[in-house]
Amino acid sequence: MNSFWAVFKRELKSYFTTPLAYVFLVIFLFFSGYLTFKQGFFEAEQADMRPFFMNLPLLFVFMVPSTAMRLWAEERKVGSIELLFTLPVTITQAVLAKFFAAWFFLAIALALTFPMVITVSYLGDPDAGLIITGYLGSFLMAGGFLAIGCFFSAVSKNQVISFVLSVVACAILVFAGMPTTLSYLSTFLPAGLVSAVEGMSFQTHFESIQRGVLQFRDLAYFILLIVGWIAACTVVLDERKAA
């Protein structure tokens, strides 16, 4: 456990020792607010956070991979991964520590959007339950994107390639659940396969949680997704270490 916390603190600290964290936070907060108000937040005359949350999947498609791409690609590029593996820490501990450090950083980014909550509360009487479940769904979705990014960061030591692969994979899982995609697929696929594609999408499960409906299948989807991609990342790194 001490090894886990050592890597966790080292990774989290590394975000704030460079301009990376501050640039990410500024860009994320700007676009999350800009996209919310651009889509007629005031014109709707309804005090809720739905316009904010509905833009997060597309925003996360680009923002989260930019955070994840450096997790392992940078370690491999500069050669510090060999030093890391000589420390008394297992690959699983290192992967989990790096993942949770990055996830905690994304949680900070989400927490810094609190002015949006204050604004909505000032303008009306929003449903606090919907806001809480919306943030929970956003946090889980960020973890899912991050786990995918961790895997591709471990696959390639080139951060740009890692970023592109992560964006493509995340975009597929988002767009797969959009009505236009499902409508197109229904023209040549049987209904069962269309439903299966919809069930694999981030969009479907996130929207369900965002509506305040906490179902086991939605929570299980994100948990299994995170565990699966993190396990795959661990296997890749284990094989590279053995090689």
Model confidence at 229, in pLDDT bands (50, 70, 90)? Answer: very high
Give CA separation, 97 vs 2, 22, 101, 138, in Å: 11, 21, 6, 21
Q: Phi, psi at residue 194, to the nearest 5°?
A: -65, -40
Q: How far apart are CA 199 and CA 28, in angstroms?
A: 28
Q: In this predicted model, what pLDDT tens digit does every residue of 86-129 receive, in sequence order? A: 777 788 888 999 999 999 999 999 999 998 888 888 877 778 88
The count of structural domains within the chain is 1
Model confidence at 231, in pLDDT bands (50, 70, 90)? Answer: very high
Please check the confidence at residue 41 and state whether its pLDDT lies above 70. no
Instruction: Name which residue leads in pLDDT, 85 or 214.
Output: 214
Q: Are 73 and 156 in contact (CB under 8 A)?
A: yes
CB neighbourhood size of 57 (10 A): 25
**Would the pTM count as exceeding 0.75?**
yes
Please check the confidence at residue 243 and state whether its pLDDT lies above 60. no
What residue numbers bound the domain in which 209 lies?
2-242
Nearest to 210 by CA among 143, 129, 117, 126: 129
CB neighbourhood size of 114 (10 A): 10
Please check the confidence at residue 19 and state whether its pLDDT lies above 70. yes
End-to-end CA distance of the chain: 27
* Furthest C-alpha separation in the chain: 60
Average pLDDT score over the chain: 84
Q: Are 237 and 95 in contact (CB under 8 A)?
A: yes
Amino acid letter for position 53: F
Grouping H, G, I as helix, E, B as strand and the rest as coil, residue 146 is helix
